[in-house]
Amino acid sequence: MASGEDEPRNCAVCGDRATGYHFHALTCEGCKGFFRRTVNKSTSLICPFAGSCKVNKAQRRHCPACRLQKCLDAGMKKDMILSAEVLALRRARQVQRRAQQASLQLTSSSSVHPSPALATPGA
């Protein structure tokens, strides 16, 4: 059997021991919680060192801006947080659209009667 299950997996952001995939990326619990807490206020995060901070297990708390950037670089996506709501919204909209289209088709086909006698097949 492959020994893949026992291999230590490292957080893609800080290198700490990863606990699994969180928001599309393999991360530790710390970075998972950090991302969930921080991503919504990401616009207010500014790195004092032009985004050049090292993000590792020991220093990951020093600069939330760089840590968040590394989260995003690792493939973490904030849309996962709202996915349930977004999906529900999309479904509701789709149902609405389908209902509208169905009613449009019904009215158009009932009001406009394409009569084969008046149609000009050659032209």
Q: How far is the CB of 12 from Zn ion (least distance, A)?
A: 8
Assess 71 for contact with Zn ion (CB under 5 A). no
Q: Is the backbone of residue 116 left (phi > 0), alpha (psi -120 to 50) or beta?
A: alpha
No. of helices (H) and no. of strands (E), the chain: 3, 2
Count of CB atoms situated within 10 Å of the CB of 20: 10
Assess 68 for contact with Zn ion (CB under 5 A). no
Q: How far is the CB of 30 from Zn ion (least distance, A)?
A: 5
Residues 6+ apart with CB under 8 A from 57: 11, 14, 15, 16
Residue of 22, 23, 26, 31 that binds Zn ion (CB under 5 A):
31
How many residues sit close enough to Zn ion to count as binding (CB under 5 A)? 13
Cβ atoms of residues 30 and 68 within 8 Å? no
Assess 26 for contact with Zn ion (CB under 5 A). no
Cβ proximity to Zn ion, 54 vs 98, nearer residue: 54
- Contact set with Zn ion (CB under 5 A): 11, 13-14, 16, 27-28, 31, 47, 49, 53, 63, 65-66
